[in-house]
Structure formats: C-alpha cells, structure tokens
Amino acid sequence: DSGVTQTPKHLITATGQRVTLRCSPRSGDLSVYWYQQSLDQGLQFLIHYYNGEERAKGNILERFSAQQFPDLHSELNLSSLELGDSALYFCASSPIVRTNTGELFFGEGSRLTVL
Amino acid sequence: AQSVTQLDSQVPVFEEAPVELRCNYSSSVSVYLFWYVQYPNQGLQLLLKYLSGSTLVKGINGFEAEFNKSQTSFHLRKPSVHISDTAEYFCAVSGGNFNKFYFGSGTKLNVKP
C-alpha cells in the first residue's frame, strides 16, 4: 500500500459527459502528479501541483483541468469526454522539496471507460 | 526537453536466466533516472534510482542498473529472474527540480518456467 488513495477505481460513462477523479496523497506529501496510461500512448504526464499551486504541465488537453485543495487532495476534471479518453488515470505524490529524493508514490489508478 | 526510449516492448525469458531491459534517455541538462515496476492491476512502485554518485545502483528484488552518461543509457539488469518478476517495467527521467517525470513506453517482462 503506497498510501495514495484514488477514487473511483472504475468509472463507465458516455461520450460528452464530465467526470471528476479524486486523489488523496500520502500524509505529509505536498506534491501531486497526474498521469494518463493508455495502451497506445503509454504513461503520459498531465500535470503537477505543489502545495496548491500548479508547478508543471504536460500533455494535458484543454478539456481536462485539475486543482489541489488546501487539505492537499487533488481532483482531475475531464469534460466533453471522447472515446479516446478511455484510460487508466494515475495520481502520484512525493514529499516536500527539501526532502525529496525523487520517488513518486502511485495510487492504484482510476479506470475510465467512455462508451 | 527530456525523453525516454525503452527499446523493447516485450522481453520473454526463462526462469533463472539473466535479463537486461534497455533504456535510453535524452536531455540537455543533468538528469535523475528511475526504474519503476507495475504488477497487474496495481500502481507503479520504485525499483531503483540514480541521483548522483556511483553509476551502478542497486534496487529492490535483486535488480540493478548502470548509468552511462556517454551512451545516455540506464539499462536495468537482474542476474537470475523469478516467475514473480513478471511485470511491466518503466524507465523514467526527471530534472533537478522534480517538476516533471517522463516515462518510457514500458517493457513487459514475461518470465517462463
């Protein structure tokens, strides 16, 4: 158990809909990273938040947005869903900068299926 | 910009044989390198990492990797694999501030009895 919790574990929805994925990082970790894992694209970096502020963006679509709340949990919002958005979405956390040794702690993922 | 290339998408190997999973990276700045393992229906977990110092790093479960700056490689090795090593392995690279981690496309290791 990595200590990172993601909900829901599975989600089935229709094209055009909007979903929210939630991530609770390990206790004390200030950084949250979101990744999308699909069969054809591998593990794609989406976005990184540190203590509530956006630190870095990757290949995140404009239809997707994220935020990190004061209690450090994070949400990834996916809207106007398309079939190609079907994937496993991972959240990972890491400690504060001065003690960070680069290790990411991954949750078990949220599997999104768009029909 | 940084990127990672894993040259083999699948590696079949017999139990107790040695294995090498290849990883090459590209970066214009100093990098930190990582190998993660993903078992079925689980998240990724860290096997080992190179931040600085000795270029040969040892990780969990008997794995080791060698950082080769001149060849921009970070290949993962194990002298004798077990059935339980069957999983997907990901190489990753990050810059000094850990703002982004870029992962390779993964190598599926299939250990056969």
DSSP B44-109: EEEEEEE-SS-SEEE-GGG-EEEEETTTTEEEEEESS--GGG-EEEEEEEE-TT-S-EEE---EEE
CB contact under 8 A, B51 and A102: yes
User: Looking at this protein, which amino acid is placed at residue B63?
Assistant: F
Average pLDDT, chain B: 92
Give residue B42's pLDDT: 87
Inter-chain residue contact B94 with A102, CB threshold 8 Å: yes
Q: Do A102 and B43 lie within an 8 Å CB cutoff?
A: no
Q: How many CB atoms lie within 10 A of CB A70?
A: 7
The pLDDT of residue B95 is: 81
pLDDT higher than 90, residue B44? yes
Q: How confident is the model at residue A84, as a pLDDT? A: 94
Phi, psi of B65 (to 5 degrees): -145, 155
Chain B hits for A48, Cβ within 8 Å: 99-100
Closest to B10 measured CA to CA, from A109, B2, B19? B19
Length of chain B: 113
Per the CB < 8 A criterion, the answer to whether A11 and A76 are in contact is no
- Specify the DSSP class assigned to residue A39: T
Residue A41 pLDDT: 77
Can you tell me the mean pLDDT for B12-16? 97
- Residue B53 is predicted with a pLDDT of 86
- Percent share of chain B, pLDDT over 70: 99
pLDDT attached to residue A100: 63
- Please state, in angstroms and rounded to a whole number, the distance separating the CA atoms of residues B26 and A26: 31
Residue listed under structure tokens 């993601």? A6
Q: Is residue A4 within 8 angstroms of chain B, CB to CB?
A: yes
pLDDT along chain A (115 residues), means of 10: 94 97 95 92 91 93 96 97 96 77 91 97
Instruction: Give the burial class of A71: count Cβ atoms within 10 A of its Cβ; 0-12 exposed, 13-18 middle, 19 or more buried.
Output: exposed
SS3 of residue A9 by DSSP: coil
How far is the C-alpha of A100 from the C-alpha of A48, rounded, in Å? 15
Residue A8: asked if its preceding bond is cis (omega within 30°), the reply is: yes
Q: Looking at chain A from residue 32 to 61, which residues have their Cβ under 8 Å from any Cβ of chain B?
A: 33, 35, 42-43, 45, 48, 55-56, 58
How many angstroms separate the CA atoms of B31 and B100, rounded?
11
Per-residue tokens: A27: 């206790």
pLDDT at A96: 65
What's the pLDDT score for residue B19?
Answer: 98
**pLDDT at B17 (0 to 100):** 98
Identify the DSSP state of A2: -
pLDDT of residue A68: 97
Q: Do A37 and A87 form a contact (C-beta atoms < 8 A)?
A: yes
pLDDT value at position A63? 97
Whether the CB of A79 is below 8 Å from some CB of chain B: the reply is no
Range in B12-16, B46-50, B74-78, B98-102 the model is least confident about: B98-102
* A22: Cβ contacts below 8 Å, ≥ 6 apart: A6, A7, A73, A74, A75
